[in-house]
Amino acid sequence: MSKEIERKFLVSSLPDLSEAKKAVVRQGYLTAPDDSTELRLRQKNDTYFLTLKGVGGLVRVEREAEITADQFETFWPETEGRRVEKERYTGHLPDGLLFELDVFSGDLAPLRLVEVEFTSEEQAKGYVPPDWFGADVTADTRYKNKTMAIYGVPD
C-alpha cells in the first residue's frame, strides 16, 4: 500500500527559490465535499495525473496514475467549483529533505503552504522546520487542498 507521510506548514517568509524547480499546477476534485476519500485530477505543467488520497493527516494512503491530456479534459468539467490553481516550487532543504512550496493564485491568493515528505512517522514527528516555515497545519483539515478548493482560504 502506498502511504504518504508528510507535514504541512504555513510560510512565514519566502526562501531563495532560485535553485527550486517551478511547476504550474491546476487541480480539481471529483469527490463530493463530504467524501472522506479524495479523488483528484492534476495537471502539472504538461503532465496529467489521477490521484486517490485516503483519510488522514500525518499519514494517509495515496495512489497516483499518470493519465493522458484527453482523459484529464474528459473529467475536468466535473470538478467545477472544486478547483485549486498554484505554482509549486520544489527544492532541497539544508538537511537534504525535499520541500514543495505552493503559492496559490485565484481565490486562494496570497496563501502559501510548504510540505515536507518523510520516510517514517518517527522522522516526521521529530522534524524541526527551518525559520521560514510558519505554523504547522498538518492536522488542520481547513488547509487540505480539497477543503480550500470548496470553501476557500481558512479564516
Out of 29, 48, 89, 143, pick the active-site residue: 29
Residue 128 is predicted with a pLDDT of 96
| Average of per-residue pLDDT values in the chain | 94
126 by Cβ neighbours in 10 Å (0-12 / 13-18 / 19+) ranks as exposed
Instruction: Read off the pLDDT of residues 105-130 as tens digits, 9 standing for 90 and up.
Output: 999 999 999 999 999 999 999 999 99
Instruction: Read off the pLDDT of residues 19-62 as tens digits, 9 standing for 90 and up.
Output: 999 999 999 999 887 888 899 999 999 999 999 988 777 888 88
Is-catalytic flag, 29? Answer: yes
Q: How many domains does the chain have?
A: 1
pLDDT at 3 over 90: no
Residue 48 is predicted with a pLDDT of 98
Categorize the per-residue pLDDT at 131 as very low, low, confident or very high, splitting at 50, 70 and 90.
very high
pTM (two decimals): 0.91
User: Which residues does residue 92 pair with via DSSP β-bridges, in sequence order?
Assistant: 98
Residue 121 is predicted with a pLDDT of 93
Q: What is the CATH number of the domain that holds 122?
A: 2.40.320.10
Helix, strand or coil, per DSSP, at residue 2 = coil
pLDDT at 1 over 60: no
Which range of residues forms the domain containing residue 35? 3-151
Categorize the per-residue pLDDT at 79 as very low, low, confident or very high, splitting at 50, 70 and 90.
very high
Q: How many CA atoms lie within 13 A of 74 on its CB side?
A: 8
Residue 55 is predicted with a pLDDT of 78
